[in-house]
């Protein structure tokens, strides 16, 4: 796998977008007609749930692929469906890779001990005991998120395995976590891109932690931010306008399906007729284009 920073920043430049589509999946959010269609096909069982989620997820990927730098999939939202949820996750990762769309999985707590005991792994990266000893994880995401609740040692352990496996690492941090940004800035150089002076080490910032954002200015750190859900379009623009130019170039924006209006999709979105698809999804694509122009720098 190529260096994650090189892949992500090159795609950002190519499509002129710093948006990352974050997807959490809940069967209850899907259109009723889609759920009923899959129940008619597969019966009232978990296969129908999985197929509904896959169909819905693939549509979102197909619609957004030309407008987003990467996709982030929420691991916990898949795990609520057990083995069928893992199957759904794997299918959507494969779909994204087929579209050459970088994949990040928001794992946070899904840890286990790797072959060297001190080097951790989790459901997305690491080594698992396989047919011939320890093998790399077979879920081929480009990056993952962790909540570094054990502090610096935990960050160093994951940096080691991400460097070894050429993965990106997103640290979900807040103001009370006590992680030194200057120290993280130095550690970011361990995951520096080969073609670009940016790191595959990201600060994942939301809510009050957004006040940390400007502190990455003198480092190679990258940032991934969630703008508060209650912000309207004027507040979004005001927030972004206040960020320095250099930091904007190091920052990626999280947008979810709710913000992009994907909750009520009609049958026309799945039609082979391009006019029907345009009628169903035209507003969503326009919104994607709006956010691309607003946030790209």
What is the per-residue pLDDT across 198-209, written as a single tens digit (0 to 9) for each? Answer: 999 999 998 888
The closest alpha carbon to 79, from 117, 50, 39, 121, belongs to 50
Distance of CA 55 to the CA centre of its chain: 19
Section 244-271 average pLDDT: 86
Retrieve residue 134's tokens: 């320890």
Domain 4-295: which CATH number of 3.40.50.12280, 1.10.645.10, 3.40.50.920, 3.20.20.70:
3.20.20.70
In this predicted structure, the answer to whether residue 110 has a pLDDT above a threshold of 70 is no
| Contact call for residues 77 and 50 (beta carbons, < 8 A) | no
What pLDDT is attached to residue 143?
Answer: 92
Report pLDDT for 284.
Answer: 86
Whole-angstrom Cα distance, residue 279 to residue 230? 28
For 130-155, the pLDDT digits (tens) are 667 666 666 678 998 988 877 888 88
User: Could you give the C-alpha distances from 229 to 25, 75, 214, 244, 254, in angstroms and in order?
Assistant: 17, 21, 21, 22, 11
Task: pLDDT band for 197, please (50, 70, 90 cuts).
Answer: confident
**Would the pLDDT of 296 be above 90?**
yes
Sequence-distant contacts of 226-235: CB under 8 A, at least 24 apart = 226/22, 226/254, 227/253, 227/254, 229/258, 229/259
pLDDT value at position 138? 60
Q: How confident is the model at residue 273 (pLDDT cuts 50, 70, 90)?
A: low
Distance CA 138, CA 42 (A): 28
Cα end-to-end distance, the chain, whole Å: 27
**pLDDT per residue over 30-72, tens digit each?**
888 889 999 999 999 999 999 999 999 999 999 999 999 999 9
Tell me, what's the pLDDT at 29? 87
Report pLDDT for 174.
Answer: 79
pLDDT of 117 above 60: no
pTM: predicted TM-score of the whole model, two decimal places: 0.89
Q: Are 172 and 108 in contact (CB under 8 A)?
A: yes
Output 193 or 6, whichever has higher pLDDT.
6
Say if residue 169's pLDDT is above 90. Answer: yes
Q: What is the pLDDT at residue 16?
A: 96
Q: Residue range 80-84: average pLDDT?
A: 92
């Amino acid at each position: 796998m190529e260096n994650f920073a090189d892949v992500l920043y090159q795609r950002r430049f190519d499509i002129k977008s710093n948006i990352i589509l974050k997807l959490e999946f809940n069967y209850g959010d899907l259109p009723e007609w889609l759920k009923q269609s899959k129940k008619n096909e597969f019966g009232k069982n978990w296969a129908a749930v999985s197929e509904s989620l896959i169909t819905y997820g693939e549509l979102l990927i197909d619609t957004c692929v030309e407008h987003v730098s990467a996709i982030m999939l929420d691991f916990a939202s898949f795990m609520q469906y057990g083995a069928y949820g893992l199957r759904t996750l794997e299918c959507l990762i494969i779909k994204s890779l087929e579209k050459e769309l970088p994949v990040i999985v928001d794992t946070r707590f899904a840890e286990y001990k790797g072959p060297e005991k001190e080097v951790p792994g989790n459901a997305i990266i690491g080594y698992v005991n396989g047919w011939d000893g320890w093998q790399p994880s077979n879920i081929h995401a480009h990056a993952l998120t962790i909540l570094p609740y054990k502090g610096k040692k935990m960050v160093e352990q994951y940096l080691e395995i991400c460097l070894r496996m050429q993965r990106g690492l997103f640290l979900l941090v807040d103001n009370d976590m006590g992680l030194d940004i200057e120290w993280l800035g130095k550690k970011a150089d361990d995951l520096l891109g080969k073609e670009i002076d940016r790191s595959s080490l990201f600060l994942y910032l939301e809510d009050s932690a957004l006040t940390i954002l400007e502190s990455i200015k003198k480092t190679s750190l990258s940032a991934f931010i969630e703008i508060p859900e209650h912000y309207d379009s004027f507040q979004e623009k005001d927030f972004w306008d206040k960020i320095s130019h250099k930091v904007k170039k190091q920052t990626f924006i999280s947008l979810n399906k709710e913000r992009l209006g994907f909750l009520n999709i009609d049958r026309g979105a799945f039609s082979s007729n391009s006019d029907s698809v345009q009628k169903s999804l035209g507003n969503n694509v326009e919104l994607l284009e709006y956010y691309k122009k607003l946030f790209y720098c």
